Amino acid sequence: MDVATPGGRQLRYEVTGDPDGAPVFLLHGTPGSRIGPRPRAAVLYRRGVRLISYDRPGYGGSDRDAGRTVASCAADIATIADEMRLDKFAVVGRSGGGPHAMAAAALLPHRVTRAAVLVSLAPYDADDIEWYAGMNDANVREFATARSDELKLIESLRLQADRTRRSPASLLEALRGQISAPDRRVVQDVTIERLLLETYAEALRTGPYGWIDDTLALRRDWGFSLESIRQRVRLWHGANDNVVPASHTRWLAERIPGAEIEVQMDMAHFGAMEVLPSILSWLAAPDEPELVGARPASQRLAV
């Protein structure tokens, strides 16, 4: 389905699960698309979730929004919610979608009921954190280049996107050479592999600009304050993540008022796909007790 923004851009989105369920926006990773890994419709139906996913500008079927910030997503989410006649909804963001979920919570305080943030980056200018510590070499190069030489980054991502468009498996193979053992276990699953290949192909079908603009936005000022988030927020990270180290989520937990955090042993970046069903249940059921293992930020796990 497509909807036009007030400025005339087209946004493409999908809705699956229980049509009468609690609405939850799923914000995909980087690179990614609306068809990214998610629970099957039957699973969503049993959990009472109406899942909404959309292509961020420049990905898949959504028009590019050159120069966008992380904060820009709030207006796009509101446009889709208005089209669907949703007054309130929850949000969950995975990896590069995590900052966008926080932006929605901060900038749509009267509409976002709860937020979940899985394996997210901290802001580029975060203090009291070694931003690159524990991050694999490929991501260090990409984010460092985004800060020091944007033209070089654009050319690098353009080439990567072209290779991925011709062969989505090439991106997955490159990832396998960088990720930790728990992540290699996850992506060996035939279903997960198929879902990842499909989302990469759709994300970059129309060009590299979603990926380019995402990376630049994540390395610039995000455009909102973490301290302004007042909803309940669940933060999750795998302790063995070397795509985005768990130290990023610990840093976020210290700055988001009342955030709850779980850092799970023997899991890593792609483990976020395995915990997503439980996270969706929490988002869809406001009165549900806390998930086993979660801790308030003031009692965060030391792992």
137-150 pLDDT per residue, tens? 988 887 777 666 78
Q: Read off the pLDDT of residues 171-206 as tens digits, 9 standing for 90 and up.
A: 888 888 899 999 999 999 999 999 999 999 999 999
Domains of the chain, each with CATH number or no CATH? 2-299 (3.40.50.1820)
Q: What DSSP line would sit under 212-252, residue for residue?
A: HHHHHHHTS--SS-GGG--SEEEEEEETT-SSS-THHHHHH
Residue 194, both tokens:
């198929």
Q: Measuring CA to CA, how many Å separate 46 from each of 39, 41, 126? A: 11, 9, 40
The H-or-E segment that residue 154 falls in is helix 150-166
Closest among 300, 287, 169 to 232, alpha carbons compared = 287
User: Residue 295: pLDDT band by 50, 70, 90 thresholds?
Assistant: low
Q: Coil, helix or strand for 8?
A: coil
Rounded Cα–Cα distance for residues 215 and 146 (Å): 7
Q: What DSSP line would sit under 237-302, residue for residue?
A: EETT-SSS-THHHHHHHHHSTT-EEEEETT--GGGHHHHHHHHHHHHH-TTSPPPTT-EEGGG---
Which pTM does this prediction carry? Answer: 0.91
Amino acid at 219: R
pLDDT confidence of residue 258: 86
Residue 238, both tokens:
């795998």
pLDDT confidence of residue 147: 65
Share of the chain above pLDDT 70, in %: 93
Q: Read off the pLDDT of residues 15-64 as tens digits, 9 standing for 90 and up.
A: 999 999 999 999 999 999 999 999 999 999 999 999 999 999 999 999 99
Four-residue CA torsion sign, 271, 274, 276, 279: negative
pLDDT confidence of residue 298: 42
Q: Measuring CA to CA, how many Å separate 266 from each of 158, 173, 228, 255, 302? A: 34, 22, 33, 26, 14
What average pLDDT does this structure show over 209-237?
Answer: 95
